[in-house]
Amino acid sequence: DSGVTQTPKHLITATGQRVTLRCSPRSGDLSVYWYQQSLDQGLQFLIQYYNGEERAKGNILERFSAQQFPDLHSELNLSSLELGDSALYFCASSVEWRTEAFFGQGTRLTVV
C-alpha cells in the first residue's frame, strides 16, 4: 500500500458527460501528480500541483482540469467525455516536486 488513495476505482459513463476523480496523497506529501495511461501510450503526465498551486502542465486537454485543495487532496475533472478518454488515471504524490513519486491504484474510466 503506497498510502495514496484514489476514488472511485472504476467509473463507467457516457460520452459527453463529466466526471470527477479524487486523490488523497500520502501523509506529509505536498506534491500531487496526475497521469493518464492508455493501452499503448504508456504513462502520460497531465498536471502537477505543489502545496495548492499548479507547478507543471503536461499534455492535458482543455476539457480536463484539476485542483489541489487546502487539505492537499486533489481532484481531476474530465468533461465532454469522448470514447478516447477511456484509460487508467493515476494520481501520485511526493514530498517535494523532484523526488520519487508514489502512485495510487488508479481509476479505470470507461466511456461508452
Q: Does 48 bind another protein (CB under 8 A)?
A: yes
Quick one: which H or E segment has residue 108? Answer: strand 107-111
Interactions with another protein, residue window 26-45 (CB under 8 A)? 33, 35, 42-43, 45
Restricting to residues 63-102, which ones interact with another protein according to CB under 8 A?
88, 90, 92, 97-102
The reply to whether 104 sits near another protein by the rule CB under 8 A is yes
Task: Give the footprint of another protein on this chain (CB under 8 A).
Answer: 2, 4, 33, 35, 42-43, 45, 48, 55-56, 58, 88, 90, 92, 97-106, 108
